[in-house]
Structures are given as C-alpha cells and as structure tokens.
C-alpha cells in the first residue's frame, strides 16, 4: 500500500478545490488534490458551464425561427425551419466540458499539484484512503481543505429514476422530451425549463411559493414573468408536488395539491415525459464523520471567517461549508483565501457583496441591497432606473425586447451605493463593475464621473446612476 504525504491535501476538484490547490502550489506548498470524478466539479462538468452552453444553443435555435417567418428577420430569410439534433447539441456541450476539464488538469500540473483520481475515504481528519487492497493509496496532509461540494436534493416520495431527474441528467438528455414538468421555480428550474421550452418542449412549472424566483422582488421578476407567459410556459404556484407514478405508455404521472388544501383533497395530475426536480442542493458531507468536523443541523460544515473547522488545520470551503452562498465564485474566492492562510497570509472571508445571477431569459442580476432590504436596514435611500430600451447597444442586440432595466440603490445623505440590480438580455455581463463599486464603497459621483465606452451596455450603469442623482441624459 502506497503512502503519500503533503503540506496541503484538497478533497474535491471543483471550483473551490482546484483553485485552492493551484494557489497552494503557486505558494510553494506541496499539494495533492483528490477527485472522484473529473476535475472541474459540479460547476464545470454538470452545472454552470454545461447549462450555459445549452442555454446559448437554445437561444440560437429559438432565434432561427424568426428568420424562417414569411418576411424573415433583420433582412435575413431562411427557406426552411431549423432542425434540432439533441444528441449533436449535447455532444457540442460535452466538447466544451472536455476542453475545460483538460484545462483545469493542465493548470494543476503547471502549479506542481498532484491530482489523484478516486474517492477519498477518511481514516481521520488528515488521512484519506483511495482505492482498496494492495493498490490503495494512503494520503496524509498537514493541512486539509474540504471542498466536497453539494448534490441535488432528492424528494423522499419522488426518487430519481429514468423519468424523474435532477439537473445533472437534464443536461445530458439525448432526445428532446415532448413535455417537461419542473418541480421548483427557483433559478435552476427556470434556467433549464426555459431552455427546454426554447428547444421545443412543452414546459410546466410547479412551485410551492406564491411566485417563481421568490428571492427577488416583484419589479425584478416582472420581465421574466412576462416572458414565461408570452412563451406559454404553464406555471402552478402555491402547490406542492405529492408524488409520481409510471404510466402504461412509459411516461410519468405527477400528483400535486394546493398548499392550503385539506388533507383528504384529491390531488391534481399532470402526465409528462420527464419530471425535473430542482428543489435545492444539500452539502455533500455524509462521508465526513471520521474527520470529527462539526456539522450544523442542515449538514453544512461549521467554519469561522477563515473557513477553519473545529479541527486544527482542517478547512472547509464552498457548498459544503456554512459560510457564504452556494455559488461557484464564492467557492473559488474561499479556496484562494484558505491557500494563502495556510501559507501564512492574513485573510478572512468578509465580502461587502456577492453577485447573484439567474441565466433565464431575460437574465436577472443582483448585488448588494434591494430597495426593500435597504429600507429594512434603516438606510435613507434614493433609487434610479434606466431601461434597456433607451440604450443603443441593447437595441442592436435586440436586448431591449425583454423590457429590462438597471436599478441603482444609494443612500440619500452621502450617496454611497448600497446595491445595483438589473434584468434583461445579456445583463449579466455588467455585474463586475457593480460588485467592484460596492466593494470599494463607491459613491454615485464616482461612477457618474467615469467615462463609459460607447456604444456598450455598460453605459446603462452610468445612466442609472445619473437617474439616481436626478439627471439622466438618455431617458425622460
């Protein structure tokens, strides 16, 4: 049995783990990273990247229909309708994933990090075993970074099978379903539900809350709700899924009831090809018992603002820990931070704001406080908005058709920016400036005095700030 020792042992090569390992290697620490599947983790292999690839492809396919209309579109006509090869589309997506997977492995190698493929079985907090018998490998780390990630929540009364699927399976279907029922109207369910609608499936959303995307305020949700209605995506809000049963023709029957229904109320039924369950994700922490690290009631590893667990020299980052949102960019930030802490640098996880993006059509972006949150926190606020319809670059990309806007929230007394939100096609590309503004404590005047290139969508940030100050140029 082979034994390896290192200064830093990273468990999981997702966006948190591989960034931690690369940074540790750059800092001269002997580093080993263990991954049971493929380097890149959920985000790169079966989450963020493949979903955005399919979303882009679905937009392309959907837009081609405009050019096959009688008079075409933009002066461009296509004689016949586009044809969808679902297997080919998934293959294109897989090529992107493969390229990025190889890229991560190359970056790890360049940083001097050893990648060990296999499932880590903890012997204690700082020792893992990979494999079995004489071919097993024992790895001991002076410091351990837990980057185990998360997994989709499976409903106990709707176990995953061929027709009841998670987001992972939804990204790899080789045939387009005629009908998809999405259980859960959060960001994952809506991103994938809209994607399948654009590709040609009938889509129905079943959501327990009173609205889809309830984490966002009504003003931000409105353009998305209009798109959903216009594209005939059926939405049932305020209802609970109660279970499924197979039909004789190989499909699935979903049962659901109103959330206020009496106990003996007969459930409503929907017959569908696929039931996509997107009711959240949970930390992948079930294998951590031998480590002795403390977990909270939901299974997240408890950490402080340095991502330290209760075990000395053992850290947890990303989705598996209870610090920060379950987002890839949070995991990457924490991974880099922990590597530097191990190397002796002074770091702490204390961001001013973390951007949240929903890649629906239209996209929704939020960083910092919404108007309601700012008011609840006791801030005297001023608010300004600027519509995509008044931005030249948006019009040239037909982004204005989403009815979107950029909204700025600032303090009335000192003009400090508290939050920026936006909704619209391509709006996600603006979030970098917004996050930087909050992190640096920018005032409205700081952005107002910054020249923004024309013609770009970033001009909308400038105009929304001017609107907050009461003198927008390109809108009445």
- Give the CATH number, domain containing residue 244: 3.50.50.60
What is the C-alpha separation between 381 and 385, in angstroms, rounded? 13
Which residues lie below 8 Å from residue 98, measured CB to CB, with a gap of 6+?
none
425 domain-assigned: yes
- The per-residue pLDDT for 289 is 94
In terms of domains, do 373 and 461 share one? yes
What is the C-alpha separation between 105 and 469, in angstroms, rounded? 49
Query: How many CB atoms neighbour CB 410 within 10 A?
Result: 27
Counting residues of the chain whose pLDDT is more than 90, the rounded percentage is: 90
The residues that bridge with 9 in the sheet, in sequence order, are 32, 144
Provide the strand spans (E) within 131-279: 137-146, 150-152, 164-165, 179-183, 202-207, 234-237, 239-246, 252-258, 268-272, 274-277
In terms of domains, do 323 and 375 share one? no
Asked whether the predicted pLDDT for residue 476 surpasses 80, the reply is no
C-alpha separations of 272 from 207, 275, 377 in Å: 16, 7, 45
In terms of domains, do 181 and 222 share one? yes
Asked whether the predicted pLDDT for residue 274 surpasses 80, the reply is yes
In terms of domains, do 287 and 318 share one? yes
- The per-residue pLDDT for 203 is 98
Question: pLDDT grade, residue 282 (50/70/90)?
Answer: very high
- The per-residue pLDDT for 312 is 97
Q: Which helix (H) or strand (E) holds 262?
A: none
Question: pLDDT grade, residue 46 (50/70/90)?
Answer: confident
Question: pLDDT grade, residue 262 (50/70/90)?
Answer: confident
In terms of domains, do 110 and 21 share one? yes
Which residues lie below 8 Å from residue 139, measured CB to CB, with a gap of 6+?
3, 4, 5, 6, 9, 32, 34, 116, 120, 127, 128, 129, 130
Mean pLDDT of the chain: 95
How many structural domains comprise the chain?
A: 3
Question: pLDDT grade, residue 68 (50/70/90)?
Answer: confident
Indicate the SS3 state at residue 99.
Answer: helix
Q: What is the mean pLDDT of residues 382-397?
A: 95
Q: What is the mean pLDDT of residues 330-355?
A: 97
Asked whether the predicted pLDDT for residue 400 surpasses 90, the reply is no
Dihedral sign for Cα 413, 415, 418, 424, please: positive
What is the Rg, in whole angstroms, of the alpha carbon atoms belonging to the chain?
A: 24
- The per-residue pLDDT for 65 is 84
C-alpha separations of 431 from 73, 266, 358, 411 in Å: 31, 46, 12, 20
What is the C-alpha separation between 61 and 51, in angstroms, rounded? 15
Which among 342, 365, 386 is the end of a domain?
A: 342
Which among 293, 315, 342 is the end of a domain?
A: 342
Q: What is the mean pLDDT of residues 217-246?
A: 95
Tokens in use for 240? 């609970």
Asked whether the predicted pLDDT for residue 261 surpasses 90, the reply is no
475 domain-assigned: no
Report which of 66, 58, 105 is spatially closest to residue 84, judged by C-alpha positions: 58
476 domain-assigned: no
In terms of domains, do 401 and 439 share one? yes
- The per-residue pLDDT for 352 is 95
- The per-residue pLDDT for 66 is 84
In terms of domains, do 13 and 128 share one? yes
pLDDT digits (tens, 9 = 90+) for 150-187: 999 999 999 999 999 999 999 999 999 999 999 999 99
Q: Domain span at residue 184?
A: 164-279
Q: Which residue has the higher pLDDT, 265 or 145?
A: 145
Q: What is the mean pLDDT of residues 51-64?
A: 93
140 domain-assigned: yes
In terms of domains, do 117 and 215 share one? no
Length of the chain: 476
What is the C-alpha separation between 254 and 179, in angstroms, rounded? 12
Counting residues of the chain whose pLDDT is more than 70, the rounded percentage is: 100
158 domain-assigned: no
What's the CA dihedral at 333, 337, 338, 341 to 10 degrees? Answer: 180
- The per-residue pLDDT for 1 is 81
Is pTM beyond 0.85? Reply is: yes
In terms of domains, do 308 and 378 share one? no
Task: Please give the positions annotated as active site.
Answer: 454
Report which of 251, 317, 216, 428 is spatially closest to residue 11, judged by C-alpha positions: 317
In terms of domains, do 6 and 137 share one? yes
Which residues lie below 8 Å from residue 474, measured CB to CB, with a gap of 6+?
386, 390, 391, 463
Indicate the SS3 state at residue 30.
Answer: coil
Q: 86-95: string of b/e by CB count within 10 Å (b at 16+)? A: eeebbeebbe
Q: Compute φ and ψ for 221, nearest 5 degrees.
A: -75, -25
Query: How many CB atoms neighbour CB 340 within 10 A?
Result: 17
Lowest mean pLDDT segment, chosen from 64-68, 122-126, 203-207, 343-347: 64-68
In terms of domains, do 227 and 292 share one? no
Asked whether the predicted pLDDT for residue 72 surpasses 90, the reply is no
pLDDT digits (tens, 9 = 90+) for 420-440: 999 999 999 999 999 999 999
82 domain-assigned: yes
- The per-residue pLDDT for 343 is 98
What is the C-alpha separation between 186 and 448, in angstroms, rounded? 35
What is the C-alpha separation between 279 and 228, in angstroms, rounded? 19
157 domain-assigned: no
Question: pLDDT grade, residue 81 (50/70/90)?
Answer: confident
Report which of 460, 366, 475, 470 is spatially closest to residue 418, judged by C-alpha positions: 366
- The per-residue pLDDT for 399 is 86
In terms of domains, do 141 and 35 share one? yes
- The per-residue pLDDT for 133 is 87
Indicate the SS3 state at residue 302.
Answer: coil
Q: Are 190 and 205 in contact (CB under 8 A)?
A: yes
CATH label of the domain that carries residue 409 = 3.30.390.30
Report which of 162, 176, 165, 163 is spatially closest to residue 87, judged by C-alpha positions: 176
The residues that bridge with 203 in the sheet, in sequence order, are 180
- The per-residue pLDDT for 358 is 96
- The per-residue pLDDT for 235 is 97
67 domain-assigned: no
């Amino acid at each position: 049995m082979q034994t390896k020792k290192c200064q830093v042992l990273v468990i999981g090569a997702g966006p948190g783990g591989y960034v931690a390992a690369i940074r540790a290697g750059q800092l001269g620490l002997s580093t080993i990273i263990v991954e049971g599947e493929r380097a890149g983790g959920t985000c790169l292999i079966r989450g963020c990247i493949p979903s955005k690839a399919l979303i882009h492809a679905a937009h392309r396919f959907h837009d081609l229909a405009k050019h096959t209309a009688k008079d075409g579109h933009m002066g461009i006509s296509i004689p016949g309708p586009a044809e969808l090869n679902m297997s080919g589309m998934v293959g294109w997506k897989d090529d992107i994933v493969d390229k990025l997977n190889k890229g991560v492995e190359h970056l790890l190698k360049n940083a001097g990090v050893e990648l060990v493929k296999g499932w880590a079985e903890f012997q204690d907090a700082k020792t893992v075993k990979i494999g079995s018998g004489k071919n097993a490998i024992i790895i001991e780390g002076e410091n351990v970074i837990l980057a185990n990630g998360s997994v989709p929540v499976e409903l106990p009364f709707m176990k995953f099978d061929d027709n009841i699927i998670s987001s992972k399976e939804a990204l790899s279907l080789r045939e387009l379903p005629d009908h998809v029922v999405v259980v859960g109207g959060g960001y994952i369910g809506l991103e994938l539900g809209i994607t399948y609608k654009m590709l040609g499936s009938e889509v129905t959303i079943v959501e327990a809350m009173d609205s889809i995307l309830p984490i966002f305020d009504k003003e931000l949700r409105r353009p998305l709700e209009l798109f959903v209605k216009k594209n005939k995506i059926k939405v049932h809000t305020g209802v609970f899924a109660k279970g499924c049963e197979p039909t004789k023709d190989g499909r699935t029957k979903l049962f659901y009831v109103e959330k206020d229904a009496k106990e003996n109320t007969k459930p409503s039924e929907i017959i569908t090809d696929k039931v996509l369950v997107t009711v959240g994700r949970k930390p992948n922490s079930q294998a951590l018992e031998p480590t002795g690290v403390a977990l909270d009631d939901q299974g997240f590893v408890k950490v402080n603002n340095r991502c330290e667990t209760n075990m000395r020299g053992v850290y947890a980052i990303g989705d598996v820990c209870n610090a920060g949102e379950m987002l890839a960019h949070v995991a990457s930030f924490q991974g880099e931070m922990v590597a530097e802490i191990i190397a002796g640098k002074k770091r702490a996880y204390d961001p001013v704001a973390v951007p949240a993006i929903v890649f629906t059509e239209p996209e929704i972006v939020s960083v910092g406080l919404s108007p309601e949150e700012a008011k609840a926190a006791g801030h005297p606020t001023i608010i300004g908005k600027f519509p995509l319809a008044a931005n030249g670059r948006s019009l040239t990309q037909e982004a204005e058709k989403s009815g979107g806007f950029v909204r700025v929230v600032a303090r009335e007394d000192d003009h400090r920016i508290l939050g920026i939100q936006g909704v619209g096609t391509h709006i996600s590309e603006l979030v970098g400036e917004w996050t930087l503004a909050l992190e640096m404590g920018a005032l409205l005047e700081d952005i107002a005095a910054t020249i923004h290139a024309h013609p770009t969508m970033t001009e909308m940030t400038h105009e929304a700030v001017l609107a907050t100050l009461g003198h927008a140029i390109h809108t009445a």
